[in-house]
C-alpha cells in the first residue's frame, strides 16, 4: 500500500466539485414561474457591459464568454480570447503573466471548481479586492483608494435591488452558495436565513444548506439535507454531488458508490462526476471501479487539454494499491512530466516511484517513456 501526498481522501488540486453549486442551471427559470426572472439573473451581460465602459480590458472565466458575443465589437475586444481565458483560469501563473501584459481593470471569476486555484490566489493577494459576490461568482478590482471590499447587503438595499420576492430569494440562495465555495460561511448562513423567510425555492435552499453543512464538516447533516433536496427534485445534480461527498466522509461508502454510479450514468462523463466516482470507489475499496473511473477521467481531461498531473497521480496510486506495479510506475512517469505541479509534488511522485522499485534501484533508472507517452501528457 502506497502512502501518497495525493491521497484520494484529501481535497484534489483543481476539480473537487462538492461545494460548487450548479449556478448556471439554477438560474434558468422554471416553467411554473408566473413571471420572467430579472434580466440580471438570466445573464451577466449587463454586468459585463458595465465593467468595460471605461474602455479598459476585463478578465472573465470561460463560462461568461458566450455573454460577450451580443456586445458591440468595440467592447468584445476588451475581454480575453477563449484560449487565454481557459488557460489562465486553470493556471494562476499564466493568469498573472497575462495580467502583467494586459493590466486588467476588473476580474469576474465564476464559482467552478476548475478555477479554485486562481480564486484562492486572488483572495490572498494584496493587489486585488473582492468587491462583489453574486450568483455569477466573484468580482475583483485592483487595490486602490476608494475600492471597498464586499459586505453583506442591508435589508433596505436588497429590497431596492430585488423588489420581487422570487428574484430576491434566488439571488440570496445562489449568492450564499458561492460564499460557501470560498469558505465565507457566516455570511452564507445569514443570506440563507433571509431567503428562508421568503418561502421560495425550497429545493434550492435545501441543497445550498447542504453545501454549507458540508463546508463545516457536518457530514450527517449534509446527508440529511441533500437527501431532502433530492427527494423534492431527483435531478438536482449539485445536491447529489454533495450527498456523495457527505456519504463518503460519514462512512457510508457503498451508498456513495451507488449514488456516484447513478450520477455518471445520468449526467455523463466529465472530470467532476468521474472524480467523485473514483473517490466513492476508493472509499468502498473497489479497486477495479476506482481505476476504471480514473482512466476515463484522464481520457476526458486529456481530450479537453486540461492539466493531468493530479489525476495521473491518483491513477498511479490506484494501480499501486491494486498490485499493478508496472502500470503504477508508467502512470507516475507520466504524472512527473506535468508542468502544473509544484517542485514538492514532483519530489513526492519520485518518492512514490522509488518506493515501488525492486531492490535498491532508483526510479531514475527506468527507461524513458516513448514519444507517444510523452505527447499524451502535454498540457
Q: Would you list the DSSP string of 63-101? A: GGGGGTTTS-HHHHTTS--HHHHHHHHH-HHHHHHHHHH
Please classify residue 71 by burial: count the beta carbons closer than 10 Å to its beta carbon, then call 0-12 exposed, 13-18 middle and 19+ buried.
Answer: middle
In tens, the pLDDT along 184-206 reads 999 999 999 999 999 999 999 99
Task: Check whether 2 has a pLDDT greater than 60.
Answer: no
Determine which of 50-64, 237-251, 269-283, 355-369 has the lowest per-residue pLDDT on average: 355-369
Q: What nine digits make up the cell of 1?
A: 500500500
Give the tens place of pLDDT for each residue, 57-110.
Answer: 999 999 999 999 888 898 999 999 999 999 899 889 899 999 999 999 999 999
Domain architecture of the chain: domains with CATH: 1-15+268-379 (1.25.40), 39-142 (no CATH)
User: 2 vs 112, which has greater pLDDT?
Assistant: 112
45-72 confidence digits (pLDDT tens): 989 999 998 899 999 999 999 999 888 8
Distance CA 219, CA 175 (A): 22
Provide the β-strand partners of residue 133: 138
Strand order in the sheet with 58-60: 58-60, 106-109, 137-142, 128-134
CA 8 to chain centre: 16
20 pLDDT more than 60? no
pLDDT average, residue stretch 312-339: 92
Find the range with the poorest average confidence among 11-25, 79-93, 235-249: 11-25
Q: Which residue has the higher pLDDT, 134 or 17?
A: 134
- The model's pTM is 0.79
Contacts of 195 (CB under 8 A, 6+ apart): 169, 172, 173, 176, 201, 205
Sole residue written with cell 454510479? 261
Q: Could you tell me which of 234, 231, 235, 211 has the C-alpha nearest to residue 222?
A: 211
Q: Are 263 and 273 in contact (CB under 8 A)?
A: yes
At residue 307, the pLDDT reads: 82
Residue 269, C-alpha cell as written in the block:
462523463
148-181 pLDDT, tens per residue?
Answer: 999 999 999 999 999 999 999 999 999 999 999 9
pLDDT, residue 29, reads 38
State how far the Cα of 130 lies from the Cα of 122, in Å rounded to an integer. 8
Sign of CA dihedral 243, 249, 250, 253: positive
Amino acid at each position: 500500500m502506497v502512502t501518497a501526498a495525493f491521497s484520494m481522501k484529501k481535497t484534489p488540486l483543481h476539480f473537487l466539485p462538492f461545494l460548487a453549486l450548479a449556478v448556471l442551471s439554477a438560474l434558468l427559470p422554471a416553467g411554473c414561474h408566473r413571471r420572467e426572472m430579472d434580466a440580471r439573473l438570466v445573464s451577466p451581460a449587463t454586468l459585463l457591459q458595465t465593467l468595460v465602459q471605461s474602455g479598459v480590458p476585463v478578465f472573465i472565466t470561460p463560462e461568461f464568454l458566450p455573454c460577450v458575443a451580443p456586445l458591440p465589437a468595440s467592447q468584445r475586444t476588451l475581454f480575453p480570447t477563449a484560449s487565454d481565458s481557459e488557460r489562465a483560469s486553470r493556471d494562476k501563473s499564466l493568469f498573472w503573466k497575462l495580467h502583467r501584459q494586459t493590466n486588467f481593470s476588473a476580474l469576474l471569476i465564476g464559482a467552478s471548481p476548475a478555477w479554485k486555484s486562481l480564486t484562492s490566489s486572488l483572495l490572498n493577494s494584496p493587489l486585488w479586492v473582492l468587491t462583489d459576490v453574486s450568483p455569477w461568482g466573484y468580482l475583483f478590482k485592483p487595490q486602490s483608494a476608494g475600492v471597498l471590499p464586499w459586505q453583506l447587503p442591508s435589508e433596505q438595499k436588497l429590497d431596492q435591488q430585488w423588489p420581487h420576492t422570487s428574484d430576491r430569494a434566488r439571488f440570496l440562495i445562489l449568492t450564499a452558495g458561492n460564499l460557501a465555495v470560498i469558505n465565507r460561511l457566516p455570511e452564507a448562513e445569514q443570506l440563507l436565513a433571509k431567503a428562508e423567510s421568503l418561502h421560495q425555492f425550497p429545493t434550492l435552499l435545501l441543497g445550498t444548506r447542504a453545501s454549507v453543512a458540508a463546508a463545516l464538516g457536518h457530514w450527517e447533516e449534509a446527508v440529511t439535507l441533500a437527501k431532502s433536496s433530492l427527494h423534492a427534485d431527483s435531478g438536482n445534480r449539485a445536491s447529489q454531488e454533495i450527498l456523495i461527498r457527505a456519504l463518503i466522509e460519514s462512512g457510508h461508502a457503498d451508498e456513495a458508490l451507488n449514488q456516484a454510479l447513478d450520477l455518471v450514468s445520468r449526467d455523463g462523463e466529465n472530470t467532476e462526476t468521474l472524480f467523485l466516482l473514483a473517490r466513492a470507489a476508493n472509499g468502498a475499496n473497489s479497486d477495479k471501479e476506482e481505476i476504471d473511473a480514473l482512466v476515463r477521467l484522464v481520457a476526458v481531461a486529456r481530450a479537453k487539454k486540461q492539466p493531468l498531473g493530479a489525476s495521473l497521480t491518483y491513477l498511479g496510486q490506484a494501480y499501486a494499491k491494486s498490485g499493478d506495479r508496472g502500470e503504477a510506475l508508467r502512470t507516475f512517469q507520466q504524472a512527473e512530466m506535468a508542468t502544473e505541479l509544484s517542485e514538492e509534488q514532483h519530489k513526492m511522485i519520485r518518492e512514490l516511484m522509488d518506493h515501488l522499485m525492486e531492490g535498491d534501484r532508483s526510479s531514475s533508472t527506468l527507461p524513458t517513456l516513448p514519444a507517444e507517452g510523452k505527447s499524451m501528457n502535454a498540457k
